Chain A
Amino acid sequence: MTGPEMDVLLEKLPEPQLPPGARERFVSRYPERRRRGAWKWALAGLALTAAAAGAFTQPEAELSSAVYPLADGRMLVVRMVARPGAPAAWQWAARLKGSSGMKDGVWHHEAADRWTGRTFSLRVAAADLAASGAREVALSEDDGLYVRLSVDGAAPVPPFGPGEFVLQSPHVYLDGEELGPTGVERLSGTSLELARAGVGRFVLAMDAQGDRRFAPTGSAAGRRIEFQAAGHTWRIECRNELPVQGVLYVWHDRSYRTAQALEFGSGGWTPGR
């Protein structure tokens, strides 16, 4: 077969067409126009915990929680809760990581699963969640995912599982120099993620669950998590005593790309090869 003959055959492959509504689904993520003085994306890095398997066997198990300071001094507490019997897709959602924020009294959450590329987008047209004072202000299903957002004036008391990190006011340091604010007041999860432009991403866990991508190159003790990677010393310090102590497993995911000087959150890891 000659090259030109093969080229003719290659042209037989039908051209994939955009699914109906793909454009609208993308465009609808964005506001009609930019509004001055609107709430900014004040809250970033809401992270959903990589769900422990047991989490799905308990009634409305909490997957993650995060506390964010609001400009007026109040605290916004966000919990992500899984309901038993929720579709399998939700279990993917448990590994989502993204950003959240309140804008014009509407809660937005947008995230993308880094592994599947599945995009998860949620907009809850509710009243100003922080001002409502309600414990549960939104109940929404989006793309088959069951999500409940809760807002409370006090920090939640989640059912921490073994090996779960809980960090208050975490600060991240590279070779002793602080990398800037993480923007997170409180964070919990069975794994942490730290990413930086030009370096990739580090996934930190106390239990690597046999995942060979991890290496025991760090430690968690007291109020400090520290590890060596990419020729540098990385340190996370928090205000509270860590509920986990001991050897820290680190996976350096060099394929991860970010343009940010610092991305920090919880969750986002599934035991792999």
Chain B
Amino acid sequence: MAAKPTRDEAARLFDEHGAALYRFAARLLGPGAEAEDAVHNVLARFLERNGYDPSRGPLRAYLLGAVRRQARKIRRVETEELADIHAAPGTRLDARLAAQEAVAAALDRLPWTQREVLLLAHYEGLTLQEIAQALDLELAAVKSRLHRARESMRESLAEWKGAMR
């Protein structure tokens, strides 16, 4: 059995990836203990039984993919069918929402499959290819999900903006 990783190794890994992984986890799960636990879990698994294959893309993308799997388990969206269900009803965003609240609410309304892709593309700066590797998807599926996510966001936010006037 491999030797237990040292504190220095753990610190280096956390310093390199912890913030980005938490950012993604918190946007999927909401900030707090669940997101932190998801990140800790992913990093611990990586340290203790590294299953990363560099030929499958950058390490950051691999770890983000692992965070996504953790988040799905936490929210019990373990199948694509469930992940395609809208997280919240498609009612109009309340015009009283501040911009950041409206964006958060619009994101919440996206199905998981689209939200994951949008977060990775827009906020984590992954390329489409990297997203495909991280999420174990075909490139075409990533493009399609990102397109649908942006369209949905645009519609939601346009409605919200219109209602504000």
Contacts and interface: CB of A to CB of B under 8 A. Distances in A.
Indicate the size class of the contact surface on chain B.
35 or more
B71 A6 contact: no
A34 B3 CA distance: 7
Contact of B14 (A9, A17, A23): A23
Interface residues of A, number: 44
A33 B10 CA distance: 11
A119 interface: yes
Contacts of A25: 36, 40
Interface stretch (A75-83, A165-173, A253-261): A253-261
B6 to A, nearest CB: 5
A19 interface: yes
Contact of A1 (B69, B76, B99, B154): B154
A259 B48 CA distance: 11
Given A1-B158, A9-B103, A13-B100, A119 B40 contact: yes
A6 B153 CA distance: 8
Interface string B1-13: 1011111111100
Which of A25, A41, A116 has most B Cβ within 10 Å?
A: A116
Nearest to B98: A12
B112 interface: no
Nearest to B72: A255
A33 B7 contact: yes
Interface in A7-28: 7, 9-10, 12-19, 22-23, 25-28
Interface of B: 1, 3-11, 14-15, 18-19, 22-23, 26-27, 31-41, 43-44, 47, 49, 51, 69-74, 76, 78-79, 99-100, 102-104, 107, 122-123, 150, 153-154, 157-158, 161
Interface of A: 1, 3, 6-7, 9-10, 12-19, 22-23, 25-34, 40-41, 103, 110, 112, 114-119, 253, 255, 257, 259-260, 272-273
